[in-house]
Amino acid sequence: MESLSSRIAEIDWQKVTSDMNDKGYSIIPCVLSEIQCHELIDLYERPDKYRKTVVMERYRFGLGEYKYFDYPLPKIIQTIREEVYPKLAPIANLWMKVLKIDKQFPKSYHELQTQCHDNNQLKPTPLILKYGKGGFNTLHQDLYGDVFFPLQSVFFLNEPDVDFTGGEFVMTQQMPRAQSKAIVLKPKKGDMLIFTTNFRPIKGKKGYYRVNMKHGVSELYNGERHTMGVIFHDALS
């Protein structure tokens, strides 16, 4: 994982911080190599790596399938959790401060995990999602329990307009006393998208206020699309 660790260390985290504060999301190109993308897609067919499979249509979540990894996590996911989280904790803590929320997140991922486990949130939340033609994911938030970190990441494992068409990443931002704003993103293979789990602060005339956000995936027209979601908090057992 030395090369992945190097790429994470070389990210312009000041730009990521600026993006998150300005927009609630940031796209970082080429975090995963092509080989790593293929390795993760290949893991999809390894049932021993997962604790749960969800068929979206069964729960009216959309059309597609996703699988939650089990512990121990693959090294690539553990590395992302341990090395990306400390870069994001200061952003989350600033958000709590400006929104006057009495909450601060620990500096290290292992301290966050301890908080989760003390709250009986013991199940890992990283997952791989797979969509085929007609697949989509309804707008949602990934919370899983009372302890949750307000930022998360998703990694894109296929190339848009080559491996699939459609299937854009969609976010909605609920504007106060107005209609929701739609944000449509099209990251490339290997890119990491960091975005807000459920809300973000926006500065208004009288200070900062909170806006709620959801995310999902638009319909695929053809092909196959895989993504890996790395959520930092664990789920209730």
Least confident window among 26-30, 110-114, 202-206: 202-206
For each of the domains in the chain, give its residue range(s) and CATH number, in order of start. Answer: 2-236 (2.60.120.620)
Tens of pLDDT, residue by residue over 151-199, are: 999 999 999 999 999 999 999 999 777 789 999 999 999 999 999 999 9
Q: Could you give the percent of the chain with pLDDT greater than 70?
A: 99
| Residue found under tokens 């796209």 | 27
pLDDT at 203 over 60: yes
The residue among 208, 224, 235 whose CA lies nearest residue 97 is 208
Q: Is there a contact between 73 and 131 (Cβ–Cβ < 8 Å)?
A: no
Q: Is there a contact between 165 and 223 (Cβ–Cβ < 8 Å)?
A: yes
Strands 164-166 and 220-223: antiparallel
The residue among 41, 31, 35, 39 whose CA lies nearest residue 9 is 31
Sign of CA dihedral 142, 147, 148, 150: positive
The residue among 50, 25, 15 whose CA lies nearest residue 130 is 50
Q: Does 72 sit behind a cis peptide bond, omega within 30 degrees of 0 on the bond before it?
A: yes
pTM exceeding 0.75: yes
